[in-house]
Amino acid sequence: MRLLQNKVIKKVTLFIGLLASAVVAPCWAESTGVEKGKALTFDRKKGNCLSCHVIAGGTLMGTTAPPLIQMQARFPDKEKLYDQIWDARKRNPNTIMPPFGSHGMLSNEEVDAVVEYLYTL
């Protein structure tokens, strides 16, 4: 009987641990590369690109900014796209695009992931 109780306790503990990690960690935290970039781009609390841009597969998209399509053609140099996301004010001081990197909304790694995803569009 004692052995059965220990097995049940271990399974319940494991389940609670898995449930807690799923609730606490955002969907993009465990992803890498393009997947992480897409998740960040669509995340309303992080990148929130959908609030201004039309992006294939998105919902409730804004139309304030250009649609995010043909990104490799628009930004053949990935560094320029990175800079645009990091702080668009460098290219256009009157931009309404938030400075995601310089204001700490996204880290260097997160901006890199977003760029990788955008290059697939």
Tell me, yes or no, whether 14 and 61 share the same domain: no
- 77 and 112 co-located in one domain: yes
**What are the helix and strand counts (H, E) for the chain?**
5, 0
pLDDT at 120: 93
Are residues 50 and 102 located together in one domain of the fold?
Answer: yes
Q: Are residues 72 and 103 in the same domain?
A: yes
Does residue 50 share a domain with residue 73?
yes
For residue range 32-51, list pLDDT tens digits in order: 689 999 999 999 888 889 99
43, 83: one domain: yes
Q: Give the total number of structural domains in the chain.
A: 2
Angle at the Cα of 23 from the Cα atoms of 116 and 13, rounded to 5 degrees: 125
What is the C-alpha separation between 102 and 115, in angstroms, rounded?
Answer: 16
pLDDT tens profile 49-86: 999 999 999 988 999 999 999 999 999 999 999 999 99
104 & 62 share domain = yes
Give the residue numbers spanning the domain of 65.
31-118
What's the distance, Cα to Cα, between the start and end of the chain in Å?
58
pLDDT given at position 5 = 55
| 49 and 105 both lie in a single domain | yes
pLDDT (tens digit per residue) in 96-121: 999 999 999 999 999 999 999 999 99
- Do 68 and 81 belong together in one domain? yes
Residues 36 and 74 in one domain: yes
